[in-house]
């Protein structure tokens, strides 16, 4: 596997920025000019988790032609798995002081932990579930959908229905996932205080490492023989089928892999933002994830990471400075990118300097601005 | 008239009892509660009941006056009614009695026992009211109270009743009252059970179920009747679910009809479709505000004016969107999806900036509010109008596609664009107009939805997923499929609701839909031919 220069630079930038931010937060005094406040650390960690979701979307959309409008569902499921672990860690420190039951269950008058909460007191189990639950859901859904050759728009619409159904389901108190309010007030992760600066910094660095790992994995997958066939499926599915391949199997594998990547992103997201609730399933979130990829450049993987960071940085900035304008800006970005930048920011990078990309293109500079 | 005079004589005789009791009747009444003679109250009550059963319209006036405290009697037992201006009229005739002064008469007083007798008498008296609706109302009241005391009055009223509907209700009321009467014979009671069984609604059931536990033939008959009514009610509840389902389906149909054009016929994934609906709802709001300010006399038909306005406004917005955005993205459905999603965000924010984020009040005109009873069904007018409206819209849409020159060109362009262009059809304009038509229909849907949903910038978002589901479920490019799909989804949803609850029911429907689309990726009525693979 050979990394192109843009990918290499992006990986180094992501890792480097995360490390620098974490070090500046830990090593400098709070009063010092070089000090990075903790909320920036949490924000950067959040961006990196969104980048994992974007990477997952790009893997299926950019390389298998499956436009998922429900990928945030896998992200949220991973988040819920982590949330359940964190809830169990609260123990007697909850408002009701019940050693076994999370507060919302005590509040609902439940006597025992539902069976599906079994095992979530172990971190390893929760991490496994954060991958397994999205994988199983994606496996069943994808097996049914790809086998019956649901493609294109129809697939997009039923993925949206999927996340919408999950949104409604998780709003129900009877589900045992905290209903409307979801899960929050987390205390510990693996014995470390979730709120502590050091934990936050560590989580940021871990997110960066995981993101880079996911990127390398995705790169490996799309560069492999498997990836070549995937691209063939994306471009002309029927011709690939006539050549003797089974497109549905290829799609299913990459679809499940992508769901797992999104699930991991969600699992890392929850301890850093400190809350998980059903609104993460909202269809709008999934569509927003698609726009990150579109902004960055579909089918480039690097673009997905850049897009997620750029758009979310923009969102943070706009909602702080000009809250009214944010929806205009987001909407305009959708329209502008689809009309004028079909290959996203990466398209700019590659067309402006096709052979020897400058290290400091506007996109990379923007990325530095965001992370650093 | 002689009868009335006889009755009034009766009441005059009975009311104060005898001359000796006369003072008790009103003097004692006026004195103090402690000094009231029970005999006199009995006689007053008895007089009221007699008068009530007389069945004469004048009796109502007299008892009404007693109820209002304006009935006066002089020393000769003649009754007078005090008018609001302080003068008196003769209670017998209603003629003015100018020579009666306040000194000549004493007020007939009442206490609680008498008052309840008055109330019962007034209720019974309405059984003899000249207009049928009042009698119907009175009979309903008797049925609800099923007080055996009303039996004699009911019997008299029944003998006189000519309106079959009122008569039937009176018989039912009589049956209900009979069942509560301790002295009724078994045969009478069995008859009464049969009458109530024939009525067969929840009210009849509650009367009967009180008896069902009793031993003896009446209890057995009542128990059997309850079972029969339950069965009957179950059928009605199924009918009610179907109706609610059609009602929900018609809402889905309205929301999806425009999408059946833009998505189904043109293949454009218009995620801003919901915002077209929302714009239609806001047009309704604006039309109502304007008419309230400038044309208050026509306010009642504001919705009818809003329909074409919403069509024009949303349609115009649609044409602009097609010309400025969508035409660059033909053949790239997924990009269209993203761009129109972005557009929907912008449109929501525009409306939010113009009108604020709060819900706007859209009035329901008088002719659309209220409800009526059909057998065991309660139907609300606004839902019924929306059902009718939805079908009218779809019928108009089908007719427009089939019989108008524009519809012909639209179909030509959809079927074979290049051939249509070769025949001289300006395909870009047809695209724009088709998109405008779909958006305009969405706007019309907004007028209807403004009656049942909150008019807010988020109005459209709630319908977008459902609309796409309906179109995909029904089969793309097929208005019949869309209609059938919408109704099926609506009815399935409403049947699941009582079993699984509203939210879980909706989740089940979504999951079923996902599974259905997996089995039939092209919906219930797929387009045949090679075009679908394109």
Indicate whether B61 and B140 sit together in one domain: no
| C-alpha span between B473 and B260 (Å, rounded) | 11
What are B502's two structure tokens? 């509203």
Question: DSSP class of residue B360?
Answer: B
pLDDT at A341: 84
Indicate whether B202 and B245 sit together in one domain: no
For residue B382, what is the enclosing H or E element?
Answer: helix B381-403
Indicate whether B193 and B174 sit together in one domain: yes
Question: Residue B371 forms beta bridges with which residues?
Answer: B380
pLDDT at B137: 78
Torsion sign across C-alpha atoms A320, A323, A325, A327? positive
What SS3 state is found at B269?
coil
How are beta strands B71-74 and A275-276 bridged, if at all? unpaired
The answer to whether residue B219 sits within a structural domain is: no
Task: Test A283 with B329 for CB contact under 8 angstroms.
Answer: no
Task: Test A330 with B515 for CB contact under 8 angstroms.
Answer: no
Which of A242-246, B21-25, B212-216, B495-499 is the most confident on average?
A242-246
B132-179 pLDDT, tens digit each:
777 777 777 777 777 777 777 777 777 877 788 888 888 888 888 877
| Domain count across chain B | 3
**B100 or B38, which is more confident?**
B100
Q: Does A239 touch chain B (CB under 8 A)?
A: no
The answer to whether residue B223 sits within a structural domain is: no
CB within 8 A of B226, min separation 6: which ones?
B205, B208, B209, B212
B44-62 pLDDT, tens digit each:
777 776 776 665 666 777 7
B443-490 pLDDT, tens digit each:
999 999 898 888 998 888 888 888 888 888 888 778 888 999 999 989
Task: Test A339 with B328 for CB contact under 8 angstroms.
Answer: yes
Q: Which residues of B touch A147 (CB under 8 A)?
A: 518
Q: Which residues of B touch A334 (CB under 8 A)?
A: 338-339, 341-343, 345
Q: Does A160 touch chain B (CB under 8 A)?
A: yes
How close B220 gets to chain A, by Cα (Å)?
43
pLDDT at A364: 42
Stretch among A40-44, A350-354, B270-274, B320-324 having the lowest mean pLDDT: A350-354
How close B335 gets to chain A, by Cα (Å)?
6
pLDDT at B23: 38
Indicate whether B433 and B348 sit together in one domain: yes
What are B78's two structure tokens? 């003649």
Substitution target from B514, B523, B526, B534 for chain A, most A beta carbons within 10 A:
B514
CB within 8 A of B242, min separation 6: which ones?
B491, B494
Indicate whether B202 and B145 sit together in one domain: yes
Decide: A280 and A72 in contact? Cβ < 8 Å.
yes
Which of B64, B95, B128 delimits the end of a domain?
A: B128
Q: Does A333 touch chain B (CB under 8 A)?
A: yes
| C-alpha span between B272 and B290 (Å, rounded) | 27
Indicate whether B63 and B95 sit together in one domain: yes
Looking at chain B from residue 493 to 532, which residues have their Cβ under 8 Å from any Cβ of chain A? 503-504, 506-507, 510-511, 513-515, 517-519, 521
Give the residue on B whose Cα is nearest the Cα of A163: B510
A182-192 pLDDT, tens digit each:
998 898 898 89
| C-alpha span between B73 and B40 (Å, rounded) | 15
What are B282's two structure tokens? 């806001």
Indicate whether B45 and B194 sit together in one domain: no
- ∠ CA A231-A232-A234, nearest 5°, is 60
pLDDT at B33: 31
A350 — pLDDT class (breaks 50, 70, 90): low
pLDDT at B28 over 60: no
For residue B372, what is the enclosing H or E element?
Answer: strand B371-374
b vs e for A257-283, b when ≥16 Cβ sit within 10 Å of the residue's Cβ? bbbbbbbbbbbbbbbbbebbbbbbbbb
pLDDT at B388 over 90: yes
A126 — pLDDT class (breaks 50, 70, 90): very high
Question: Residue B373 forms beta bridges with which residues?
Answer: B378
Q: Which residues of B touch A150 (CB under 8 A)?
A: 517-518, 521
Indicate whether B118 and B151 sit together in one domain: no
Closest CA to B316 of B395, B433, B468: B433
Q: CA dihedral in degrees (B123, B129, B133, B139; nearest 10)?
A: 40
User: DSSP assignment of A127-188, as one string?
Assistant: HHHHHHHHHHHHHHHHHHHHHTT--HHHHHHHHHHHHHHHHHHHH-GGGSS-GGG-EE---E
How close B273 gets to chain A, by Cα (Å)?
14
pLDDT at B27: 33
Task: Test B335 with A338 for CB contact under 8 angstroms.
Answer: yes
Q: Does A302 touch chain B (CB under 8 A)?
A: no
pLDDT at A358: 40
- Prediction ipTM score: 0.80
Name the residue among A152, A160, A338 with its Cβ closest to that of B338.
Answer: A338
* Containing structural domain, residue B114: 2-128
What percent of the residues of chain A are helix, what percent strand, and what percent coil, each to the nearest 5?
75, 0, 25
Indicate whether B263 and B408 sit together in one domain: yes
- Find the helix packing angle between A344-352 and A362-371, rounded to 10°: 130
Task: Test A331 with B469 for CB contact under 8 angstroms.
Answer: no
The answer to whether residue B467 sits within a structural domain is: yes
Which of B214, B246, B271 delimits the end of a domain?
A: B214
How close A261 gets to chain B, by Cα (Å)?
23
A58 — pLDDT class (breaks 50, 70, 90): very high
For residue B79, what is the enclosing H or E element?
Answer: strand B79-82
Indicate whether B419 and B483 sit together in one domain: yes
A221-234 average pLDDT score:
94
Determine what percent of chain B is predicted with pLDDT higher than 90: 19
Q: Does A143 touch chain B (CB under 8 A)?
A: no
CATH number of the domain that residue B411 is part of: 1.10.3470
Task: Test A150 with B518 for CB contact under 8 angstroms.
Answer: yes
Task: Test B346 with A287 for CB contact under 8 angstroms.
Answer: no
pLDDT at B8: 56
What are B18's two structure tokens? 């005898």
| C-alpha span between A273 and A82 (Å, rounded) | 12
Q: Which residues of A touch B333 (CB under 8 A)?
A: 152-153
pLDDT at B22: 38
Name the residue among A162, A327, A342 with its Cβ closest to that of B345.
Answer: A327
Task: Test B465 with A338 for CB contact under 8 angstroms.
Answer: no
Substitution target from B320, B518, B520 for chain A, most A beta carbons within 10 A:
B518
pLDDT at A360: 41
What are B302's two structure tokens? 């504001």
Stretch among A66-80, A90-104, B297-311, B383-397 having the lowest mean pLDDT: A90-104
What are B12's two structure tokens? 């005059």
Q: Which residues of A touch B532 (CB under 8 A)?
A: none
Closest CA to B365 of B475, B488, B448, B273: B448
Indicate whether B123 and B140 sit together in one domain: no
User: DSSP assignment of B83-147, as one string?
Assistant: -TTS-EEETTT--B-TT--TTTEEEPP--HHHHHHHHHHHHHHGGG-SSHHHHHHHHHHHHHH--
Q: Does A161 touch chain B (CB under 8 A)?
A: yes
Q: Does A145 touch chain B (CB under 8 A)?
A: yes
What value does the mean pLDDT of chain B take? 80
Indicate whether B279 and B410 sit together in one domain: yes
How are beta strands A183-184 and A275-276 bridged, if at all? antiparallel
For residue A193, what is the enclosing H or E element?
Answer: strand A192-193
| C-alpha span between B512 and B515 (Å, rounded) | 5
Decide: B301 and B365 in contact? Cβ < 8 Å.
yes
| C-alpha span between A18 and A13 (Å, rounded) | 8
Q: Does B235 touch chain A (CB under 8 A)?
A: no
Q: Which residues of B touch A149 (CB under 8 A)?
A: 521
Name the residue among B337, B511, B518 with its Cβ closest to that of A148.
Answer: B518
Q: Does B339 touch chain A (CB under 8 A)?
A: yes
Distance of CA A265 to the CA centre of its chain: 4
A355 — pLDDT class (breaks 50, 70, 90): very low
pLDDT at A249 over 90: yes
């Amino acid at each position: 596997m050979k990394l192109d220069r843009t990918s290499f630079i992006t990986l180094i930038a992501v890792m480097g920025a995360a490390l620098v931010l974490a070090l500046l937060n830990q090593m400098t005094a709070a009063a010092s000019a070089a000090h990075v406040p903790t909320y920036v650390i949490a924000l950067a960690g959040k961006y990196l988790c969104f980048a994992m979701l974007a990477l997952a979307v790009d893997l299926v959309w950019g390389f298998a032609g499956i436009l998922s409008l429900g990928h945030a569902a896998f992200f949220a499921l991973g988040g819920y798995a982590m949330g359940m672990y964190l809830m169990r860690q609260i123990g007697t420190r909850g408002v009701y002081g019940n050693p076994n039951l999370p507060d919302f269950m005590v509040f609902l008058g439940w006597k025992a932990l539902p069976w599906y909460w079994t095992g979530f007191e172990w971190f390893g189990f929760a991490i496994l579930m954060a991958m397994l639950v999205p994988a199983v859901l994606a496996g069943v859904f994808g097996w049914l959908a790809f086998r019956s050759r649901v493609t294109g728009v129809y697939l997009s619409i039923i993925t949206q229905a999927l996340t919408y159904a999950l949104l409604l389901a998780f709003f129900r108190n009877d589900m045992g996932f905290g209903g409307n309010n979801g899960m929050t007030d987390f205390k510990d992760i693996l014995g470390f205080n979730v709120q502590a600066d050091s934990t936050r910094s560590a989580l940021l660095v871990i997110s960066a490492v995981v993101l880079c790992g996911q990127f390398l994995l995705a790169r490996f997958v799309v560069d492999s023989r498997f990836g070549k066939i995937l691209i063939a499926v994306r471009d002309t599915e029927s011709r690939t089928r006539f050549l003797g391949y089974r497109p549905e199997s290829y799609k299913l594998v990459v679809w499940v892999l992508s769901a797992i990547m999104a699930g991991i992103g969600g699992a890392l997201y929850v301890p850093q933002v400190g809350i998980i609730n059903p609104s993460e399933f909202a269809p709008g979130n999934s569509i927003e994830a698609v726009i990150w990829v579109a902004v960055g450049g579909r089918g480039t993987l690097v673009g997905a990471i850049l897009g997620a960071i750029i758009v979310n940085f923009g969102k943070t900035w706009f909602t702080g400075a000009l809250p009214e304008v944010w929806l205009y800006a987001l909407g305009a970005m959708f329209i502008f990118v689809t009309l004028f930048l079909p290959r996203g920011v990466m398209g700019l990078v590659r067309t402006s300097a096709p052979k020897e990309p400058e290290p400091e293109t506007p996109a990379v500079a923007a990325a530095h601005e965001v992370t650093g | 008239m002689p009868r009335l005079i006889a009755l009034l004589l009766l009441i005059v005789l009975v009311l104060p009892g005898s001359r000796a009791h006369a003072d008790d009747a009103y003097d004692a009444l006026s004195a103090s509660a402690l000094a009231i003679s029970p005999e006199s109250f009995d006689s007053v009550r008895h007089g009221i009941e007699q008068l009530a059963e007389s069945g004469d319209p004048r009796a109502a006036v007299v008892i009404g006056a007693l109820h209002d405290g304006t009935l006066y009697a002089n020393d000769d037992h003649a009754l007078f009614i005090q008018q609001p201006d302080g003068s008196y009229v003769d209670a017998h005739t209603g003629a003015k009695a100018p020579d009666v002064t306040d000194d000549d008469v004493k007020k007939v007083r009442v206490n609680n026992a008498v008052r309840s007798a008055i109330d019962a008498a007034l209720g019974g008296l309405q059984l003899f009211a000249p207009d049928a609706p009042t009698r119907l109302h009175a009979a309903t009241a008797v049925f609800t109270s099923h007080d055996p005391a009303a039996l004699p009055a009911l019997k008299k009223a029944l003998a006189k009743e000519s309106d079959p509907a009122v008569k039937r209700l009176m018989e039912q009321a009589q049956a209900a009252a009979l069942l509560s009467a301790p002295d009724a014979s078994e045969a009478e009671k069995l008859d009464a059970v049969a009458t109530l069984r024939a009525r067969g609604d929840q009210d009849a059931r509650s009367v009967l179920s009180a008896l069902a536990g009793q031993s003896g033939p009446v209890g057995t008959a009542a128990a059997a009747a309850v079972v029969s009514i339950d069965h009957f009610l179950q059928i009605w509840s199924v009918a009610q679910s179907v109706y609610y389902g059609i009602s929900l389906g018609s809402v889905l149909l309205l929301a999806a009809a425009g999408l059946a054009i833009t998505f189904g016929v043109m293949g454009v994934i218009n995620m801003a479709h919901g915002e077209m609906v929302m714009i239609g709802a806001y047009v309704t709001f604006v039309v109502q505000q304007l008419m309230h300010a400038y044309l208050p006399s026509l306010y009642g038909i504001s919705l009818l004016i809003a329909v074409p306005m919403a069509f024009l406004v949303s349609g115009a917005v649609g044409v602009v969107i097609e010309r400025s955005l969508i035409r660059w993205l033909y053949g790239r459905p997924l990009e269209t999806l993203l761009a129109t999603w972005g557009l929907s965000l912008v449109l929501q924010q525009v409306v939010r900036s113009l009108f604020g984020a709060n819900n706007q009040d859209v009035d329901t005109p008088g002719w659309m509010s209220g409800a009526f009873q059909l057998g065991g069904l309660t139907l609300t007018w606004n839902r019924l109008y929306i059902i009718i409206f939805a079908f009218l819209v779809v019928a108009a849409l089908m007719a427009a596609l089939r019989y108008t020159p524009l519809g012909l060109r639209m179909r030509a362009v959809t079927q074979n664009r290049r051939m249509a262009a070769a025949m001289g059809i300006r395909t870009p304009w047809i695209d724009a107009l088709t998109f405008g038509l779909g958006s305009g229909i969405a706007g019309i849907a907004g007028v209807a939805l403004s009656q049942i949903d909150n008019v807010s910038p988020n109005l459209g978002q709630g319908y977008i997923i459902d609309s796409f589901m309906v179109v995909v479920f029904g089969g793309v490019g097929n208005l019949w499929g869309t209609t059938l799909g919408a109704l099926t989804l609506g009815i399935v949803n409403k049947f699941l609701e009582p079993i699984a609850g509203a939210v879980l029911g909706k989740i089940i429907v979504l999951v079923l839909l996902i599974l259905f689309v997996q089995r039939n990726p092209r919906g219930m009525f797929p387009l045949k031919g090679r075009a679908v693979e394109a």
